[in-house]
């Protein structure tokens, strides 16, 4: 039997630009409340609003759409996907800690305190939480902290 995890791992090339995802969205039933939460959380990473569609959606990013909060197009209530999670990469362990604390202070709920993961704590440094509507998020950092 082949170890799929090991056989599919590809070494990361530090100077290679990632191609996916283009952007990710989560649904919301209260755009105003969701925007307060994500304005605070994403500011930790220097990310702000790049597009606002009044009463419909708010998109965040550095220069282009990277993440959005939207009211469902079909008009039905937004629901949380079971097993779904969005991961944001942080430049340092301290930013993981700061993002987790900011999320909890802004109304999120803890799903896993900041700390090293993996066998013997040798894996990435991670923190898990849910936004006020229940969407699960991960903030992680791997390797040496960036300056």
* Digitized pLDDT (tens) for each residue of the chain, 147 residues in all: 333 334 344 444 445 555 667 789 999 999 999 999 999 999 999 999 999 999 999 999 998 889 999 999 899 999 988 788 999 999 999 999 999 999 999 999 999 999 999 887 778 999 999 999 999 999 999 988 876
Say what the alpha-carbon torsion angle 107, 134, 91, 51 is, to the nearest 10 degrees: -90
Give the model's pLDDT for residue 95. Answer: 96
* CA atoms in the 13 A half-sphere facing the CB of 86: 18
Give the model's pLDDT for residue 65. Answer: 87
Closest residue by Cα to residue 109 from 128, 90, 89: 128
Q: Are 117 and 125 in contact (CB under 8 A)?
A: yes
Give the model's pLDDT for residue 20. Answer: 61
Strands 57-61 and 48-53: antiparallel
Give the model's pLDDT for residue 110. Answer: 98
Supply the pTM of this predicted model.
Answer: 0.80
Taking residue 59's Cβ as centre, other Cβ atoms within 10 Å add up to: 18
Which phi and psi (to 5°) does residue 47 adopt? -105, 135
Give the model's pLDDT for residue 120. Answer: 79
Closest residue by Cα to residue 55 from 81, 80, 76, 73: 73
Q: Is 16 helix (H, G, I), strand (E, B) or coil?
A: coil
Give the model's pLDDT for residue 90. Answer: 94
Closest residue by Cα to residue 52 from 37, 71, 78: 71
| The two structure tokens encoding residue 126 | 């991670």
Specify the DSSP class assigned to residue 145. P
């Amino acid at each position: 039997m082949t170890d799929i995890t090991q056989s599919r791992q590809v070494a990361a090339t530090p100077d290679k630009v990632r191609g996916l995802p283009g952007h990710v969205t989560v649904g919301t039933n209260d755009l105003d409340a969701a925007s307060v939460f994500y304005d605070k959380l994403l500011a930790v990473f220097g990310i702000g609003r790049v597009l606002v569609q009044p009463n419909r959606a708010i998109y965040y990013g550095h220069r282009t759409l990277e993440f959005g909060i939207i009211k469902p197009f079909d008009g039905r209530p937004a629901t949380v996907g079971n097993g779904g999670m969005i991961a944001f990469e942080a430049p340092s362990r301290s930013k993981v800690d700061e993002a987790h604390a900011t999320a909890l202070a802004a109304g999120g709920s803890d799903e896993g305190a900041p700390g090293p993961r993996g066998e013997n704590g040798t894996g990435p440094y991670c923190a898990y939480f849910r936004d006020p509507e229940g969407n699960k998020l991960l903030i992680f950092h791997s390797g040496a902290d960036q300056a």
